[in-house]
Every structure is written in structure tokens, then in C-alpha cells.
Structure 1
Amino acid sequence: MADKVTETVEVCNKLGLHIRPSRYLSSLAKSYDAVVSVKNQDRVALADSQLDLLMLLASKGAKLEISATGPQAAEAVDSIVKLVQDRFGEKD
């Protein structure tokens, strides 16, 4: 079994993981050769599914656990953590 890479990151944009950020995150996850999941408390979503990500109900301050397995797992987790830290490109 492939090694699992996991990091935790806090959502810091004002509106949380709403429609636009979830689209960015799912598109980014799809660009890697890895299976990526995102966990918020007891909810888990496949990162390549925008609808799954919206169902996390991740508001500002939520601590997301980003996990991945596969050949590009480390790169996928790193880039998604950076996207979240960059507030999904939002200015708030």
C-alpha cells in the first residue's frame, strides 16, 4: 500500500469553503496522480468532487485535514495546503 501524506490547514477566508473555492480545490486535486481526501471534523470528502467539498460545511476557522495517497500525494497535499493558506485567491 502506498504511503499516506496528511497535513492540517485552517480555512482563513471570510466565507469558508464555498462554491468558488471548492471548484478551485477540486480542479487542483484532479491535476495530480493521487487520491486526495479532505476531512472537516467528522465529515470526509473526496477532493476531486466539488459537491463533496461543499458538504464539508467548512466555514472560516475550520481545520481541514488534507490526505492523499499515490505517486504525487506529497505534491497534491502541499499545493492544496498552499491554496487554502492563500485564501483560495480571495482578498478578504
Structure 2
Amino acid sequence: MFVFFYLNLSLIAGLVAITHACGFVDIGSILIIDAIAGIISFLGVTVLKYKFSYDDSLDVFGAHGLNGIFGIIATGLLATTLIGPKKWVFLWQL
């Protein structure tokens, strides 16, 4: 049950993180974003939740909030010129 819960959470986190970038990145970048999103969601649920002691019974912030922010940043950093007009289009805003 424990492994199944974190597996489902990581799958949802990967989908949340890639939603912003799905039209602007290539397949290799999708794999990178999803792998990092799974790690972020696991750390958000297991470490940050207990460190800052916030009440999130369904782990929505760890799965959706953190990975939504990561997905927005990763879209700008990994966007390609095949689909979008400019590469690294978000980098100047950082």
C-alpha cells in the first residue's frame, strides 16, 4: 500500500509538471521533467510536510503545488525552437 501510494503520487506529479511544457519541449526533456517531478513530489510529501507541519491530508500541495511551479520553470528552461519561436525563452525572466 505504501509503495502504491507514492507511485500514484509520482505519476500524478509527472502529469502536473508536464502539462505546462507539453507543447514546447521534446521527448527527452519530458523524461527529465517527469523524473525530477517524481522526486519533488516524494520530498514534498515526506520531508516538507513534516518539517513545516502544515495540514495537507490529501498531499495536494506536494503533488500539485510544487510540481506546478517546477513545470512552469522547466518549460522556460527546456523549450525548443522546433515548436516555440525562441530557445530559452524564460531564462531572461530569471
What TM-score do the two structures reach when normalised by structure 1? 0.34
Greater strand fraction, Structure 1 or Structure 2? 1
Report 1 or 2 for greater relative contact order, CA contacts < 8 Å, sequence distance ≥ 6. Answer: 1
Larger Rg: 2
What TM-score do the two structures reach when normalised by structure 2? 0.33
